[in-house]
Structure 1
Amino acid sequence: MISPRWRRILAPIFLSLLLLVSACAPEAPSRYDQVQQETSRRGAEPAVAKDATQGSEFNKFFPKSAPGYQIVPAQEKKGFAEHKVNKGGKNVAVLSISDTSSVPSAAAKYQNSTKKISGYPAVEQGSQTTGILVNDRYQVKVSSRDPSFTPQDRVAWIAKFNLNGLERLN
């Protein structure tokens, strides 16, 4: 039988060995590791184009608050800015400007458009969103968040953007 004195000596040694062995064991790969590797390898496409316009540059082109409506900046990042339209404390629509240089397919949908708003090609994106393409690069969209905000309201709010200023942005 092992004496109590040896147990006091062997127990810390065994615990140390156990910790050493378990700490050095290879970690099982995460299910996100492959995606991380694919998106961060050399030559991978960046999520946002290097020459994309900063979102803060878009803020000056958004409509200002109007009687009964409050415009509230909501999100801003490279290549994109979004403002909310509130009426009576309720969000009724979302306004956005995005630089399609990062996602060229976003601009492609306007090529065959026969509809125009303020002289720019326009498309309906589902039943809740109306968009136009300015200067073959900047997508301006208005999305309804409440049934009271109609397609006619979306067209009217697109016309409230400073589209001439946005067209000169480069």
Structure 2
Amino acid sequence: MSQEITLTVNGTDHELSVEPRSLLIHVLRDELGYTGPNVGCESSMCGACTVHLDGKAVKSCTMLAVQADGRAVTTVEGLADDGEFHPIQEGFQEEHGLQCGYCTPGMMMTATELLERNPDPTESEIREALEGNLCRCTGYQNIVRAVENAAEKMQEPAVADGGSE
């Protein structure tokens, strides 16, 4: 028996009927067409499926879609604002923080939550935050630099606004 749910994904409301056992990752990708979050391990070990649920990073491969009913989901596609990349997206591009790109959406979502909680993390804090996201291609150096780059970018407007008077 299906259950009716409402999800707000990247600011767009979706009403849909899902099986109670449907995982959020499958609803996002297969029913709603948000292909940024990836299916990796399906056991919450790799982090490729990470999205924000009401602003908190969660692994959508182990969360039932019905658990997200009435809540706001942000995928990597929702980070850009009116065609402008989010600083974390710019950071990954500028610092070559990806190779195959499979883990990248999850890395970006985890890093974005970190930077919202801690706008000036140390390298150690970045590495600790990303522990639940696995990358099989890189040595993580460029990923860490990408997060540091984004942290700097996210602080620039405050510096520019404060110094313009």
TM-score of the superposed pair, with normalisation by structure 1: 0.25
Q: Which structure is larger by alpha-carbon Rg, 1 or 2?
A: 1
**Larger relative contact order (C-alpha < 8 A, sep ≥ 6)?**
2
> Which structure dedicates a bigger proportion of its chain to strand?
1
> Which structure dedicates a bigger proportion of its chain to helix?
2
